[in-house]
Structure 1
Amino acid sequence: MTSAAPRQAARTGHPWFVDEDRPEPSSLRTASPGEVAELLRERLAGLSVSLPGPWLPAQPFVLPRASYDELFDVARTLLALVRRAVLALGGGWPERARALGADLGDYPLLSGQDHTETEYCSMMARPDIVIGEDGPQLLEFNVSGTFGGPNETTGLAAVWEHTHSERFFGHDPLAARVRAFEDVCASRRLPRAVAVVGSLGDLQDDADIRFQELELEQFRRRGFTADFFEPDALTEALGRPGSLRYPLGLRNFAPADWRDRGISMEPVRDAQRSGMLLLPPQSSGLLANKKALALVSEGRPWMTRAERRLADRHLPWTRITLRGRTAWRGEEHELVRLTVERREEFVLKKAIGMMGREVLVGRHTEPADWQRAVEAAFARRDSVVQEYVEAATCPLELTDGQSVFTAHVAPVLSPMLFGDRPGGCWARFLADEEGHAASRGVVSVGGAGAAENAVLTWAEEARR
């Protein structure tokens, strides 16, 4: 127990983050700064959680229930629009990939079972959202089985449960993912057996085996036979001749990563040919293509007025880097010229990218460098230009294990969906030690060394 009551943080920041009827989460902390730091290091070891230090979060992000629920509502609705926009690009997944300018060679695990790919392409998704002046602004989607967040959120939420007197609520991402697999088993009348397919080389060190153990434990609690397999051990998973020992596979790897590391995907393709349903299918990656988000932002003929209003409200203006005229803020513009001349208003993003890499923020880029990047993007037609969103801040108490201070940070919030179910919310943030000010720019763990946290709400208002 801490010997002194935690200092009350000022009620500042965007109103979306604030519930005036609730106490400050910092006032509910029952652990000393040293105990918080020790628990974070101990409980999160092996879960690949980024705690760059020296300042660590001393509390979770705690949202009003309405704000917490809104994140999942926005994510679910926009994911459905993105899925429909991609499906409308062609009659099959190879055709849709070509329409998005994707190289089919980068999608070696497209199964050829178009109906199955379509059924499960949006099975697992995690958007990145910031809070703008008018609420949630969805910047991009991560749609796959390899996005960060599930294990990290689970571990962080467990720490906050032990360090605060209030029992906060957050959807459980690992449980939600298992329930999505239960739905597949029920609809296809499959036995509950899943092979988690990945590579321990993807993880940071030997301790990261906990990453896999946590996932397997959740499946086993719900009656699944579940085991982890590296690609060269998949023959064991198949159990041939006869019926498959594991009719389902959780794809816990990115094909691009394996290709770069020289890992053969032939055992995985062999498992697919033998009947293993690998989830999520690789078609999911096309929903993560930022060009798909641009299609929704621009508007599709089939979108209703309500869908257009929702997209206008929650999607920053986004366009594919194609030459021609476009509407922006009520006027017609040549897109290339607009992007170059209004540099401070835009962000340039590769259509296929991750961890904030290959993202250029106009206001943080020299004019000559920006112009060269814009011209190259329009020549290659491989990127999108997106209107810059000034992310709102909220207070968050940080600690170095000895002292505590309140920083004002601009978090990126990532609500997770599994089979359309809410599955917890992960956050990344930057905080400058000097001056205790919020940091801005591209917020990512892999690309910018951001710190991580869990996003929770108030327990007694929880509902199924």
Structure 2
Amino acid sequence: MSRTEITVHPWFLEEGRPEPAALRTVSPAEVGALLRQEAAGLDVSLPGPWQPAQPFVLPRRSYDELFDIARTLLALVRRAVMALDGSWPGRIEALGADPFDYPLLSGQDNTETEFCSMMARPDMVIGADGPQLLGFQVSGTFDGPKATQALTAVWQRTHPGAFCGNDPLLTRVRAFEDVCASRRLPRAVAVVGSFGDLHDEADIRSLDRDLEPFRRRGFTADFLEPGQLPDALGRPGRLRYPLGLRSFSPSEWDERGLSLRPVHDAQRAGLLLLPPQSSGLLANGKALALVSEGRPWMTRAERMLADRHLPWTRITLPGRTDWHGEDCELDVLLRSHRERFVLKKAIGMTGGDILVGRHTDPTDWQHAVARALADGDSIVQEYVDPATCPVELTDGTTTRTALVAPVLSPMLFGDRPGGCWARFLTGDETSDDASRGVIGVRGAGASENAVLTWA
């Protein structure tokens, strides 16, 4: 299938470039073998039978634009959260979040403020006006970095010299280097997590991918479980590891019955655990709604950028709202125009927390809207019809080109571009699932890929 035979959003296209399939130097079977080899132990979703045979390849202008938009909107979300109150506990309350969900707030507001946006991953689709931000993941545990690095390694072997992209794990190390320089700390980091999910050599390999980039850049780097923290830090005296990379979610530890007490003790002893838990507030959908609604401190240019790249988003509170210049009741608007909206829990935003109006039974939609308005714990966002682009797929024997609607996730580490991850539905040759796009953080049945640009 040639590009002249299909309709593709111009944002994806760069004239004069060959089809990526023409640059592939290995067979479909070799592509499959390399994908299995690099993805081993990394929890990369490649459900098959059709798997990517190439990366998503963007023009340089489009690739750079993703990171520029992400950086600007992240700064606006951060400022919107900061403006809610003078302290982080107060901001938690202002967003209607549960303080018990933020047990690792350090109590050092300046430190929390300095590093709350240190690691971020927006999720975007391409709409009629280009990139559209659906939501932010802001923490040390979001998906994407390892998969992007692994898949990039595959495409650099299957299409040698053709494509390039940022290395997310190396960029993350550089963000830690900035912290060491600004705080005059020795280059030593503890990756704090739990071996509870590590079962075999492949899983240990996943851990090595966290440690190896630090060690390659001259860091002392080790993995520490919570029970190892007090002794491993070297107290009393100078800390052996002044920095910690938080590779766990407190809520997941709570579900598994793991105590956070050793982590609290390590923080009190001086361990700077990054990113701090205040970062979770930047992922709260209500913060995104505040930016969409507009803040008094936003400049005209900031408002224009938000209007262009952030779909209309509001907190589900009863009352009147502005809908593209029209003053109306939010309740009436949502009930009357179900097909125009997506309903999301403000915290979480996984597939189970999202209802797409046009794909939801009308009665179910009415009940969900009533609950969301009563609880005030959700946001509603204007639906974006995702643009499609071609990608070569393989089943290990043959290849085909499919039109898919990817979710693109450019990652930022210390404001640096850290590679771009993607999820998409492959569908089959008779279904339209692929063109409907991925809903939710991971998307049920979605395949993953790296997003690169031309070398």
Quickly name the TM-score band, shorter chain normalised.
Answer: over 0.9
Do the aligned partners of residues 287 and 202 (structure 1) sit closer, same or farther apart at CA in structure 2, a change above 3 Å counting? farther
Q: Alpha-carbon deviation of 1:205? A: 5.8
Is 2:148 the partner of 1:153? Answer: yes
Match of 1:138 among 127, 133, 139: 133
3-state SS of paired residue (2:154): helix
Do the aligned partners of 1:443 and 1:450 also contact (CA within 8 Å) in 2?
no
Q: Is the 1:426–1:455 Cα contact (8 Å) retained in structure 2?
A: yes
C-alpha distance in structure 2 between counterparts of 1:43 and 1:302, whole Å: 47
Asked whether the 8 Å contact 2:242–2:270 carries over to 1, the reply is: yes
Which AA in structure 2 matches 1:337?
V
3-state SS of the aligned residue for 1:415?
A: strand
Maintained 8 Å contact 2:67/2:417? yes
1:35 counterpart = 2:30: yes
Q: For residue 277 of structure 1, what is the amino acid of its counterpart?
A: L
2:423: which partner in 1?
Answer: 428
Amino acid aligned to 1:89: L
1:224-239 residue pairs with structure 2 within 5 A? 224-239=219-234
CA RMSD across the alignment: 1.4
Q: Secondary structure at the match of 1:435?
A: coil
Change (3 A) 1:210 1:444: farther
Q: What does the per-residue CA deviation read over 1:369-418, in whole Å, with 9 as the maximum and x for residues that have no partner?
A: 00101110111100000000000000011100001011100000000000
Q: Distance in 2 between matches of 1:206 and 1:137?
A: 39
The equivalent position to 1:17 in structure 2, one of 12, 15, 22, is 12
Output aligned runs, 1:163-312, within 5 Å. 163-202=158-197, 207-312=202-307
User: Deviations for 1:267-292, whole angstroms, at most 9, x for unmatched residues?
Assistant: 11111010000000000000000000
1:349-360 superposed matches below 5 A: 349-360=344-355
Q: What is the alpha-carbon distance in structure 2 between the residues aligned to residue 70 and residue 343 of structure 1?
A: 31
- Say which is worse superposed, 96-105 or 200-209, in terms of deviation: 200-209
| From 446, 450, 454, the counterpart of 1:450 | 446
User: How is 1:31-110 mapped onto 2 (pairs within 5 angstroms)?
Assistant: 31-110=26-105
User: Matched residues in 2 for 1:456 and 1:447: separation?
Assistant: 21
Question: For the Cα contact (< 8 Å) 1:50–1:445, is it kept in 2?
Answer: no
CA distance in 2, matches of 1:188, 1:240: 20
- Name 1:315's counterpart in structure 2: 310
Question: CA offsets per residue over residues 330-359 of structure 1, 9 Å max, x none?
Answer: 211100111111100000000001433300
Deviations 1:3-51 (A, max 9, x none): xxxx756563111001112111111001111010111011210111111
- Per-residue CA deviations over 1:52-102 (Å, capped at 9, x if unaligned) read 111100000000000000000000000000000000000000000000000
Change (3 A) 1:273 1:421: same
Deviation, 1:139, is: 0.4
Indicate yes or no: 2:404 matched with 1:409. yes
Distance 1:30 1:207 in 2: 28
Partners in 2 of 1:170 and 1:446 — Cα distance?
Answer: 22
| Aligned match of 1:391 | 386
Q: Secondary structure of the residue that 2:436 maps to in structure 1?
A: coil
Deviates more, 1:342-351 or 1:230-239: 230-239
Query: Quick check: 1:350–1:382 contact (8 Å CA) kept in 2?
Result: yes
Contact 2:406–2:437 (Cα < 8 Å) also in 1:
no
Is contact 2:354–2:440 with CA below 8 Å preserved after alignment?
Answer: no
Secondary structure of the corresponding residue to residue 263 of structure 1: coil
Q: Give, in whole Å, the separation in 2 of the partners of 1:203 and 1:15.
A: 43
Segments of 5+ residues of structure 1 without an aligned counterpart are 1-6, 460-464
CA distance in structure 1 between the aligned counterparts of 2:26 and 2:7, rounded to whole angstroms: 24
Work out whether residues 387 and 405 of structure 2, in 8 Å CA contact, stay in contact via their aligned partners in 1: yes
When the two structures are superposed, what TM-score results if normalisation uses the length of structure 2? 0.97
CA apart distance, 1:166:
3.5
Instruction: Indicate which of 114, 120, 127 corresponds to 1:119.
Output: 114
Alignment of 1:365 with 2:352, yes or no, is: no
Identity across the alignment (%): 73
Taking the aligned partners of 2:162 and 2:183, their CA distance within structure 1 comes to 38
DSSP 3-state at the match of 1:139: strand
Structure 1 residue runs of 4 or more that deviate by more than 6 Å after TM superposition: none
Paired AA for residue 458 in structure 1: W
Contact 1:173 1:416 in 2 (8 A): yes
- Letter of the structure 2 residue corresponding to residue 267 of structure 1: P
Matched residues in 2 for 1:29 and 1:44: separation? 19
Letter in 1 for 2:149: T
- Measure the CA separation in 2 of the matches of 1:243 and 1:63: 47
Structure 2 unaligned regions, length at least 5? none
> Per-residue deviation at 1:204?
7.6
Residues 12 and 395, structure 1, Cα contact 8 Å, conserved in 2: no
For residues 60 and 26 of structure 2, what CA distance do their matches in structure 1 show?
25
> Is the CA contact 1:356–1:442 (under 8 Å) kept in the aligned structure 2?
no
